[in-house]
Amino acid sequence: MSATEQRLEDILNNDIWDVDSNPHITVDSEKCKNCNTKPCIRLCPAGCYTMSEKTLVFSYEGCVECGTCRVVCPLEAIHWEFPKSGRGIYFRFS
């Protein structure tokens, strides 16, 4: 492996999580229907936000807990908390 760009899934495969059964992110997808820009899709470093058909879908499992989505969301549609009690991403080399 050298000078070829890797896919996000493969990059994220190197991280470790202890996923909480309760999502620490909730999204009011009704609000997203009125959002033209959807900066969460490009700016979430973990690609947690994607479009499926014409609806914004999200997954909290691969979140790296930077908090970017809640800051960039123009409609305050994203409710983001820290995963509870030791859950979520576990950084070792960062």
Segment lying near another protein (by CB under 8 A), choices 26-34, 39-47, 52-60: 39-47
Which helix or strand (DSSP H or E) is residue 69 part of? helix 68-72
Q: How far apart are CA 7 and CA 35, in angstroms?
A: 27
**How many Cα atoms are found within 13 Å in the side-chain-facing hemisphere of 87?**
15
77: which 2 tokens? 């549609």
Segment lying near another protein (by CB under 8 A), choices 26-34, 53-61, 62-70: 62-70
Query: What is the nearest approach in angstroms of another protein to the Cβ of residue 74?
Result: 8
Nearest 5 degrees, angle CA 6-CA 9-CA 13?
100
Segment lying near another protein (by CB under 8 A), choices 2-10, 27-35, 52-60: 2-10
Residues forming the site for another protein (CB under 8 A): 1-6, 8, 10-12, 14-15, 18, 37, 39, 41-47, 64-68, 70-72, 81-86, 88-94
